[in-house]
Copies of this chain bind each other. A is one copy, B any other.
């Protein structure tokens, strides 16, 4: 691998410059104002793959296009499917960014930009590692397929149909995704479990327009108050979700897993300090790591009603809105729980208030087989690139495509996170550590070797 190693060292500056070019493109998939720029990011990824020596094209969908890349020249070698996404979360609140979200800036060994770690930077490592193989050796040790989509941040609404349509072309032995985190800055990790998700937006309607709260207040139900009462009903004082049946299908954590979590280094006061808060909060019978990785939740992501500008405005608002996501664990069913959530809320509406319930997306949770040879191969590649063996962890986030790959393509997914929990993903000042970018590329290059050796 010495030629590959040397290439990676020599080209590392250019890799960062290319990543910055990609980060400059505001590919906010959830906001239709950014539609053409989201497409620009897809074209950038396609071109970059082609430059590396991979056949690549855009596959159109009713939403944003999917970049499909392939290098499949070895009849007897295994095939790995590399998944990633070129779309990003909205950048707001804009005023909290130290440097603008789409002007990538290097500071203190990090590159700051929306999408730096989620997922442009991490996804890019698997393009650069393949480039290194092809430019130095002229070939890879195994076959690769890239599926880089543009709708991960809005629920991957067109991905399933693509996977079904291209099911034969996408035949592979294992999938690889880098869209998670290391356990800590000096402790790499392989993620063997993820939480599922259900997302809904609820809009309450009261009077047909905002009313003067002096003239009408006290005589009709206030949609903001009604919404607050619905939200308040979702949890008890201890943070336990009150939707009937919510915990019925939750698989209890095994004693071995609880011990494994407990053995990980975890400094709760440092954790709180990094979040800028003073206390944890949640189900009383579980540790903080258990609550984050292996317990279901129901979180408010946003809400709005009435007048929110400067100064007072004495109205009874006409409407109120809330965005809710639940994180799910095995074996909770996201469709049944979406229906249960809707029923739970409907039953609590006061007179004169009507509800619109929009189910946005959902996916089941996922746990990987910890004894898989693919996982052992990934451990060896990471150990070699990072100089430290990875720990096995779960994560609280959701990568719905992992379940889809199992269901449609019949393969498991290696979740190899090069980022950090402190990289501010989905938040202002998102960042990716340059050393993690470079080590990620190297681990990826080694992984192709380790996976090829399995057959």
- Which residue numbers of A lie inside 8 Å of B, CB to CB? 29-32, 89-90, 92-93, 96, 153-155, 181, 195, 197, 199, 201, 206-222, 224-225, 227-235, 239, 272, 275-283, 288, 291-292, 295-297, 299-317, 320-323, 325, 327, 350-352, 354, 360-361, 395-398, 421, 424-429
Residue in chain B with minimal CB distance to A237: B350
> A267 CA to B398 CA in the complex, in Å?
54
A313 and B301: CB pair below 8 A? Answer: yes
> A296 CA to B219 CA in the complex, in Å?
11
B305 and A300: CB pair below 8 A? Answer: yes
B93 and A210: CB pair below 8 A? Answer: yes
A280 and B219: CB pair below 8 A? Answer: yes
Cβ contact of A227, chosen from B228, B233, B421, cutoff 8 A: B228
Known: A218-B291, A232-B232, A275-B220. A306 touches B312 (CB 8 A): no
Question: Which residues of the other chain, B, contact A281 by a CB distance below 8 angstroms?
Answer: 219-221, 350-352
Cβ contact of A302, chosen from B31, B32, B96, B307, cutoff 8 A: B307
B227 and A307: CB pair below 8 A? Answer: no
> A232 CA to B281 CA in the complex, in Å?
20
Closest approach, in angstroms, between the C-beta of A3 and any C-beta of chain B? 38
B212 and A427: CB pair below 8 A? Answer: yes
Provide a sorted-by-A list of 6 A–B residue pairs whose CB atoms are within 8 angstroms: A90-B309, A90-B313, A214-B397, A301-B313, A303-B304, A313-B426
Known: A210-B93, A301-B213. A218 touches B239 (CB 8 A): yes
Closest approach, in angstroms, between the C-beta of A288 and any C-beta of chain B? 5
Question: Which residues of the other chain, B, contact A181 by a CB distance below 8 angstroms?
Answer: 215
A302 and B313: CB pair below 8 A? Answer: yes
Cβ contact of A235, chosen from B225, B295, B421, cutoff 8 A: B225
Known: A218-B282, A304-B308. A213 touches B299 (CB 8 A): yes
Question: Which residues of the other chain, B, contact A308 by a CB distance below 8 angstroms?
Answer: 302-304, 321, 323
B216 and A275: CB pair below 8 A? Answer: yes
* Inter-chain pairs besides A30-B311, A210-B426, 12 sampled, C-beta below 8 Å: A31-B311, A90-B311, A197-B214, A210-B428, A211-B275, A213-B327, A219-B288, A221-B281, A225-B232, A299-B316, A304-B304, A313-B426
Question: Which residues of the other chain, B, contact A212 by a CB distance below 8 angstroms?
Answer: 397, 425-427
A301 and B297: CB pair below 8 A? Answer: no
Closest approach, in angstroms, between the C-beta of A232 and any C-beta of chain B? 3
Question: Which residues of the other chain, B, contact A395 by a CB distance below 8 angstroms?
Answer: 214-215
B217 and A292: CB pair below 8 A? Answer: yes
Known: A231-B232, A301-B314, A309-B31. A351 touches B211 (CB 8 A): no
Closest approach, in angstroms, between the C-beta of A335 and any C-beta of chain B? 17
> A426 CA to B297 CA in the complex, in Å?
39
B312 and A199: CB pair below 8 A? Answer: yes
A217 and B396: CB pair below 8 A? Answer: yes
Question: Which residues of the other chain, B, contact A421 by a CB distance below 8 angstroms?
Answer: 215
A220 and B96: CB pair below 8 A? Answer: no
Question: Which residues of the other chain, B, contact A231 by a CB distance below 8 angstroms?
Answer: 224-225, 228-229, 232
Question: Which residues of the other chain, B, contact A312 by a CB distance below 8 angstroms?
Answer: 30, 153-155, 199, 201, 301, 323, 325, 360-361
Known: A301-B317, A325-B314. A218 touches B295 (CB 8 A): yes
Question: Which residues of the other chain, B, contact A360 by a CB distance below 8 angstroms?
Answer: 311-312
Question: Which residues of the other chain, B, contact A195 by a CB distance below 8 angstroms?
Answer: 214
> A283 CA to B212 CA in the complex, in Å?
19
Closest approach, in angstroms, between the C-beta of A158 and any C-beta of chain B? 14
